[in-house]
Amino acid sequence: MSSEIIKVPDIGGSEDVEIIEIAVSEGDVIAAEDTLITLESDKASMDVPAPKGGKVLKVLVKEGDTVSEGDDIIELEAEGTDSGAEEAHEEASSETEPAEDTEETSAGEKPAAASGGGGSRTVEIKVPDLGGSSDVEIIEIAVAEGDDVTAEDTLFTLESDKASMDVPSPHTGKLITLTVKEGDTVSEGDVVGTMEIGGSASDEAESAPPKAAEEPAEQAGAPAEEEAEEEAAGGEPERKEIRVPDLSGVSDVPIIEIGVAEGDEIDEEDSLITLESDKASMDVPSPYKGKLVQLAVKEGDSVSEGDLIGYIEVAGAKPAAGKPSETPSERKSPAASARSDKPAPAPSGTPSPEAQMAAHKPRDGKLVHAGPAVRMLARELGVDLGLVRPSGPKERVLKEDVHAYVKQAIGKARPSAAADGAGIPPIPEMDFSQFGDVEEKPMGRLLKMGATNLHRSWLNVPHVTQFDEADITELEAFRKSMKAEAEAQGAKLTPLPFLVKACAFALAKFPQFNVSLKGDGETLVWKKYVHIGVAVDTPDGLMVPVVRDADKKSLIEIATTMADLGKKAQTKKLKREEMTGGCFTISSLGSIGGTAFTPIVNAPEVAILGVSKAQMKPIWNGSDFEPRLMLPLSLSYDHRAINGADAARFTAFLADVLTDIRRLLL
């Protein structure tokens, strides 16, 4: 028998590089380019591939060792060196295999039929060779009792003082019991659970290595037979994914209600889940008709566009009963499968780590592949490795990835200084219970988001408020005279539609109020449309639906539109497109009271009109005083985009239009 020693190749001049993973064992038959070991330096990790195929006779290193270029790794019997010796080895393996089966059965298995003609058996799962380490801590559990796992799927992750390693499943089957949990320590040979495996398949798989050279043809024929069976069953249900549809750019929207359960028969367009953003709630309908076989979300989860909701069986397509068969090269750990749910677009170059991080979506924290040095760095920096996009081989997180994540996080944090008070000392915490009984209640979601938006606008926009009054005596008389006629057309004619119409008319006269200031603070966006937002008070907080093209609508159309939007706001049924795109906002407190107030600009708009309660006042007409119904107006504006003189002209013009609404016809 001839063999050769495989050595560490050129590793860029590094020396004493730590081995963090051994990928092969004695007796393994490997192909050229298969990974032998994984190294990790202070800069990066790398896989060392086999230069040729063959059989591993001896592994000369172990995890935790340090190696340099030219050090021995394994002793390899290259392919084709001694076929007679291989045949003798196969015969010896065949003779010793019954004894191994006996030992496994005595270790606690439920023995299967000796003929292997069917049935199943339960086997113990034991901790494999740990390279001499003992009492190694379990840092992550990747499976749960009842899960179906395939051979080589990761069961749990261990971390010693030198390296971390994934413990794979030795069989394909169903996990019956799991006797360990995160934080437990284990050693080689410890029983960590039991699993049920198919009797015939497992027996053949365990007795197959001596006959491996004789079975490739049979194995190659199996997929073809399965495909033929799938084609023959073309009328059976097909398993389809249900994903979150377009949310108009909104992300991390919480699920407030689940409308279905696994096993339900649902029709197309039936509501599956209800989402609630900071501005509105929306139902997500089913895109198919069929049976819901799996639901991947629950109430309280946050989802974004493209996230998986569940799976549905749709009639009249190819079957999807069970998972498609996988070859060893196609097997993935649960975390890897989760990461590959969405196809990644092919990059047109190599982006920087920061750019990769920006495009990365947070993963589940389970099964993050990282060496001890990287984990220590993440702990020191307070970084959750589940949020870091891996760039190393086999999706391993490198130190550069952690640094890129931190750099990106710091970059995001800088603009938030204004939102945090621009350096203003925070209001100190106080224990109010010392003064009497108190009760703490969390703020509602709409209330919290409204507070955030208003705080951001107040800190970023230099506010000025211009006050004025409009004589609406004739307008009110006309409104009351037309009230019955408007009701006959299905509209409620309040003073607010007149205000919307008058503001749209004023924006056409003063287009500098129909702009937005870009983030650079140097560019104004002039809008060619007129959409007016109207603040609506709801039990859950303030909402601002938008009347689109208010300048093109009649008073009756505006009144009807506002009534519909107001009803939707009260029931939280507003769609996102009904709450975005506003050019100018009206906030009316006239039905409540008050003489004036300073409304906060609804950025990125540059102005907002506050309306208080109309009052009868004595107004001098040049010869005597006469009672007139006066409406207080409070115009807040962004002084960066609008100067004070223009604001005074705007309110004066608006007051003239409201005083004599015939001006709207000019």
Q: Express each pLDDT in 466-515 by its tens digit.
A: 999 999 999 999 999 999 999 999 888 999 999 999 999 999 999 999 99
CB 280 within 8 A of CB 575: yes
Q: What is the pLDDT of residue 657?
A: 96
Three-state DSSP class for residue 395: helix
Q: What is the pLDDT of residue 101?
A: 45
CB 25 within 8 A of CB 57: no
Q: What is the pLDDT of residue 419?
A: 40
Say which CATH architecture domain 446-665 belongs to: 2-Layer Sandwich (3.30)
Rounded to 5°, angle at Cα 527 from 524 and 528: 145
Give the residue ranges of the chain where pLDDT is below 50. Answer: 81-118, 200-234, 317-350, 352-355, 357-358, 361, 365-366, 415-421
CA 216 to centroid of chain Cα atoms: 42
Instruction: State how far the Cα of 229 lies from the Cα of 319, in Å rounded to an integer.
Output: 10
Q: What is the pLDDT of residue 199?
A: 55
CA dihedral 5, 8, 9, 15 (to 10 degrees): -150
CB 76 within 8 A of CB 29: no
Q: What is the pLDDT of residue 412?
A: 62
Which one, of 372, 377, 401, lies nearest residue 164 by Cα? Answer: 372
H helix runs in 489-537, sequence order: 495-509
Give the number of C-alpha atoms closer than 13 A to the C-alpha of residue 7, restricted to the C-beta side: 6
**Tokens 């019991």, residue?**
177
Instruction: State how far the Cα of 616 lies from the Cα of 605, in Å rounded to an integer.
Output: 33
Q: DSSP character for 449?
A: H
Name the pairing type of β-strands 253-258 and 191-198: unpaired
Of the candidates 89, 360, 455, 639, the residue annotated as catalytic is 639
Q: In degrees rounded to 5, what are phi and psi of residue 438? A: -135, 165
Q: What is the pLDDT of residue 394?
A: 67
CB 72 within 8 A of CB 59: no
Burial of 579 (0-12, 13-18, 19+ CB in 10 A): buried
| Domain 238-315: CATH class, spelled out | mainly beta
Q: What is the pLDDT of residue 346?
A: 42
Within 10 angstroms of residue 310's Cβ, the number of other Cβ atoms is 19
Q: What is the pLDDT of residue 422?
A: 54
Give the helix/strand (H/E) hosting 52: none
Could you give the residue range(s) of every CATH 2.40.50.100 domain in the chain?
A: 4-81, 113-215, 238-315
The verdict on whether omega for the bond into residue 168 sits within 30 degrees of 0, i.e. cis, is: no
Please provide the CATH number assigned to the domain covering 113-215: 2.40.50.100
Q: Which residues pair with 637 in a beta bridge?
A: 464, 607
Three-state DSSP class for residue 470: strand
Amino acid at 178: L
Which one, of 212, 215, 203, lies nearest residue 171 by Cα? Answer: 203
Three-state DSSP class for residue 112: coil
Q: What is the pLDDT of residue 319?
A: 43
Could you give the residue range(s) of every CATH 4.10.320.10 domain in the chain?
A: 353-417
Burial of 144 (0-12, 13-18, 19+ CB in 10 A): exposed
Does residue 639 carry a catalytic annotation?
A: yes
Give the helix/strand (H/E) hosting 190: none
**Residues for the chain: how many in total?**
666
Which one, of 22, 25, 14, 51, lies nearest residue 38 by Cα? Answer: 22
Instruction: State how far the Cα of 635 lies from the Cα of 587, in Å rounded to an integer.
Output: 10
CATH number for 4-81: choose from 3.40.1190.20, 3.60.110.10, 3.30.470.20, 2.40.50.100: 2.40.50.100
Could you give the residue range(s) of every CATH 3.30.559.10 domain in the chain?
A: 446-665
Instruction: State how far the Cα of 531 lies from the Cα of 565, in Å rounded to an integer.
Output: 14
Name the pairing type of β-strands 607-611 and 584-588: parallel
353-417: CATH superfamily: E3-binding domain (4.10.320.10)
Three-state DSSP class for residue 8: coil
Q: DSSP character for 653?
A: H
Burial of 57 (0-12, 13-18, 19+ CB in 10 A): middle
Q: DSSP character for 491?
A: -
Q: What is the pLDDT of residue 500?
A: 96
Q: What is the pLDDT of residue 436?
A: 95
Q: What is the pLDDT of residue 211?
A: 41
Which one, of 470, 480, 467, lies nearest residue 615 by Cα? Answer: 470
Q: What is the pLDDT of residue 660?
A: 94
CA dihedral 96, 100, 102, 106 (to 10 degrees): 160
CB 291 within 8 A of CB 313: yes
Instruction: State how far the Cα of 311 lies from the Cα of 323, in Å rounded to an integer.
Output: 12
Amino acid at 453: N
Query: What is the tally of helices (H) and strands (E) in the chain?
Result: 12, 37
H helix runs in 66-137, sequence order: 83-106
Q: What does the DSSP assignment read for 210-273?
A: GGGGG-HHHHHHHHHHHHHHHHHTTTS-EEEEEE----TT--SEEEEEE---TT-EE-TT-EEE
Instruction: State how far the Cα of 147 lies from the Cα of 328, in Å rounded to an integer.
Output: 19
Q: What is the pLDDT of residue 632?
A: 97
Global confidence as pTM = 0.44
Q: Which residues pair with 125 in a beta bridge?
A: 193
Q: What is the pLDDT of residue 578?
A: 92
Instruction: State how far the Cα of 637 lies from the Cα of 473, in Å rounded to an integer.
Output: 27
Tokens of 310: 């569940």
Burial of 74 (0-12, 13-18, 19+ CB in 10 A): buried
Tokens of 578: 């009904």
**Tokens 């129909």, residue?**
514
Question: How far separated are the first and last CA of the chain, in Å rounded?
Answer: 105
Q: What is the pLDDT of residue 359?
A: 52
